[in-house]
Structure 1
Amino acid sequence: MITYKSQHLTFFMPEAIEGAGTNFFDTGISAGFPSPAEDFKEQRLSLDDELVKNKEATFYAKVSGQSMIGAGLDDNDLLVIDRSLEPANNKIAVCFLDGEFTVKRLRVSNGEVWLQPENPNYPIIKITEDNNFVIWGIVTNVIKKVY
């Protein structure tokens, strides 16, 4: 597995393993009242098959920090990032800004680009010609640990 660490994100490149998968019970698990398990079917499920649409352009990265908690991205969450998707207003993007990677919501208006955090304790960043700025990829999924 290839990894790269910056101050705010740690990147991982997915490694596809043929035939890999985890047990998947296709019954629907009730979050309300329990239901009897009538047709209890077990299948194999690959999260890469479910979460990754373009394997050559997809990376994983761990979040470090609290600037996106309002969007549900918490410290140590694992992001699925697709570099083949077109950036657009309101998308959550991983950006390379002045030598560091960051994850923020894109705001595009009147030819201007802003990086908006989802935490009021962090400032909105206006991108100017003076910035070294690249939209590196679009976040498609987030994987959380539930303790």
Structure 2
Amino acid sequence: MDPHNLFENDHQVPVSLDQLMNINAPSMYLVRIDGDSMEGAGIFNDDLIVVDRSIEARSGHIVVAAINGEPMCKRLVKTQHDVILASENKRYPSRYLQPGDDFMIWGVVTYSVRSHGLD
């Protein structure tokens, strides 16, 4: 198959990333990732993530949160006894919430977008 023909199909429906990712909704915002602790989940340094404040975070969701004012992007894990913000890179430990920690979830990650260095 000729790759040039992929874009010549008259039946293709235009795709809007704004609509696909619902970026214009009031509950949505974008965050640039600084670090590699979520590589195992496919989120890499300098990626852009789409975050939705309107979704109630559940165990297993990737969230943007803060512990004692330190912002982070991690996988939320809730067990019978613990709330854990888990890294998806073996080089980084998971963060267990401790009594007295100031913890806030700022939203659930719904999409990530990667730049391929064409600055």
Report TM bin, short chain.
0.7 to 0.9
Deviates more, 1:135-144 or 1:40-49: 40-49
Question: Structure 1 120/82 Cα, relative in aligned 2: closer, same or farther at 3 Å?
Answer: same
Secondary structure class of the residue paired with 2:26:
helix
Aligned pairs for 1:60-75 within 5 A: 60-75=30-45
Give matches, 1:25-36, under 5 Å. Answer: 33-34=1-2, 36=5
Whole-angstrom distance in 1 between the partners of 2:39 and 2:82: 24
Q: Give the counterpart of 2:16 among 39, 46, 51.
A: 46
**Aligned positions of 1:1-147 closer than 5 A:** 33-34=1-2, 36=5, 39-41=9-11, 44-52=14-22, 55-147=25-117
Q: CA deviation at 1:112?
A: 1.9
TM-fit CA distance, 1:97:
1.2
Structure 1 residues without counterparts, runs of 5 or longer: 1-32
Paired AA for residue 106 in structure 1: L
The code of the aligned residue for 1:73 comes to: I
Q: What is the TM-score with the length of structure 2 in the denominator?
A: 0.86
1:123 CA displacement:
0.8
TM-score using structure 1 length: 0.70
Q: Assess if the C-alpha contact under 8 Å between 1:54 and 1:84 holds in 2.
A: no
Q: Which has the higher contact order (CA 8 A, sep 6+)?
A: 2
* 2:18 alignment partner AA: D
Unmatched runs of 5 consecutive residues or more in structure 2:
none
Percent sequence identity over matched residues? 32
Q: C-alpha separation between the residues in 2 aligned to 1:87 and 1:141?
A: 15
Judge conservation of contact 1:104–1:115 (CA < 8 Å) in 2. Answer: yes
Aligned partner of residue 77 in structure 2, secondary structure: strand
Q: Which runs of 4+ in 1 moved over 6 A?
A: none
